């Protein structure tokens, strides 16, 4: 049994089934990411864990204790960091961090000691007397994290906490979050629509859509072996190519696995294609190559190849080349259901 157990959880709002029969088992000390597009139910699921929403049906268990609807958020062994950070604008950083300790009626000396120690952990000790309006986005994010950590909860809930940061700040914050989790060893449930965050942070990733968990596994598992075409195309930038193999089956392969035939050894077991290049984008270390496979109709979606610049072959728009994919990297999907299948025989 996991430290956090979610069993057949449902939540409906009028006619909308926001969470539809979710089952999850999250181990103590695990970093689990809930990944999916906006409106897929991931934030509603987190809010039910926190006690901010009441499930329509199902069960939530934390540390062996069922979280009945009469257990309020403050009585659950959790701390939540919101997308907006939810800092009190009229309180200093010190007072924001201290707030959960004051609510728990800790002594003044303990509050001062724990706030100062936590602020030092996040490198914000020099900011404790400032108000949120006087802090940058990254600094406000650190204050919000410190307020969560100072409680020493059993579970952290993060709802898109990096979405208000710029690209460089997000990269730094991802590293800091992962280091924090290793240091504290606390269970983390993290909501995001950003696949880079999910792949970089999660011990496991649960991919959601339409209120359901479609697949859960390590980042490599869900990327290399997607359970269906939604997971295949939601993960990856560019996403997995899907081309018609026959009337019943899509053939899938990742753009970085689709390379000039000359880059494979002669004896390699590959699927070979003639590839008409329509457009090339130079991205520094890689080239994104857009084109059509031989035999595809003009209205088909472009196939994309991610070709490292280290592959010594000129590639120009308007030319046709021999490309290939290692057969071990091919994936097959049923065209009717979208589900993964073992091969393309139907």
What domain count does the chain have?
Answer: 2
Question: With a cut of 70, which residues of the chain have pLDDT below it?
Answer: 1, 295-300, 344-346
Domain check: are 70 and 189 in the same one? yes
pLDDT of residue 277: 96
Please indicate, yes or no, if residue 234 is contained in any of the structural domains.
no
CA distance 95 to 129: 9
* Strand boundaries in the chain, DSSP class E: 4-13, 16-26, 31-35, 57-62, 65-66, 78-81, 155-159, 187-192, 204-209, 212-217, 241-246, 249-253, 259-260, 270-282, 286-293, 303-308, 320-326, 331-334, 340-341
Range(s) of the domain holding residue 283: 240-341
Contacts of 326 (CB under 8 A, 6+ apart): 257, 264, 268, 269, 270
Among 229, 264, 291, the domain-final residue is 229
* Residue 235 within any structural domain of the chain: no
Same structural domain for residues 208 and 263?
Answer: no
Shared domain for 279 and 336, answered yes or no, is yes
pTM of the model: 0.89
Q: Are residues 225 and 253 in the same domain?
A: no
pLDDT given for residue 345 in this prediction: 56
Helices marked H in the chain:
42-50, 93-103, 108-121, 137-149, 167-184, 195-201, 219-224, 229-234
Q: How many CB atoms lie within 10 A of CB 108?
A: 10
On whether both 120 and 212 belong to a single domain, the answer is yes
Residues 257 and 217 in one domain: no
| Span 234-280, pLDDT tens digits | 999 999 999 999 999 999 999 999 999 999 988 889 999 999 999 99
Asked whether the beta carbons of 275 and 259 are under 8 A apart, the reply is no
pLDDT in the model for residue 312: 84
């Amino acid at each position: 049994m996991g430290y956090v157990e979610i069993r057949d959880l449902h939540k409906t709002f009028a006619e909308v089934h926001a969470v539809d029969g979710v089952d999850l088992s999250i181990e103590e000390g695990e970093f689990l990411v809930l990944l999916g597009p906006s409106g897929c139910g991931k934030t509603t699921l987190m809010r039910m864990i926190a006690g901010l929403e009441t499930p329509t049906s199902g069960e939530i268990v934390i540390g062996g204790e069922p979280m009945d609807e009469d257990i309020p958020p403050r009585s659950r062994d959790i701390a939540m960091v919101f997308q907006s950070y939810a800092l009190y604008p009229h309180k200093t950083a010190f007072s924001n961090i201290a707030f959960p300790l004051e609510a728990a009626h800790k002594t003044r000396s303990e509050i001062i000691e724990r706030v100062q120690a936590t602020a030092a952990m996040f490198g914000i000790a020099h900011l404790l007397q400032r108000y949120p309006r006087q802090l940058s986005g990254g600094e406000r994010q650190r204050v919000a994290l410190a307020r969560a950590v100072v409680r020493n909860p059993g579970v952290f809930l993060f709802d898109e906490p990096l979405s208000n940061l710029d690209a460089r700040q997000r990269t730094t914050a991802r590293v800091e979050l992962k280091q924090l989790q290793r240091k504290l060893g606390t269970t983390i449930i993290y909501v995001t629509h950003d696949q880079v965050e999910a792949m970089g942070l999660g011990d496991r990733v649960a991919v959601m859509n339409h209120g359901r968990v479609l697949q859960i596994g390590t980042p490599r598992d869900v990327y290399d072996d997607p359970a269906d075409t939604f997971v295949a195309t939601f993960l990856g930038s560019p996403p997995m190519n899907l081309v018609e193999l026959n009337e019943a089956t899509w053939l899938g392969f990742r753009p970085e696995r689709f390379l000039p035939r000359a880059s494979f050894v002669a004896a390699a077991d590959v699927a070979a294609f003639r590839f008409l290049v329509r457009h090339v984008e130079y991205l520094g270390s890689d080239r994104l190559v857009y084109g059509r496979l031989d035999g595809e109709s003009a209205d088909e979606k472009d196939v994309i190849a991610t070709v490292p610049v280290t592959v010594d072959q000129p590639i120009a728009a308007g030319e046709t080349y021999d490309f290939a994919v290692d057969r071990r990297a091919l994936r097959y999907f049923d065209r009717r259901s979208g589900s993964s299948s073992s091969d393309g025989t139907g």
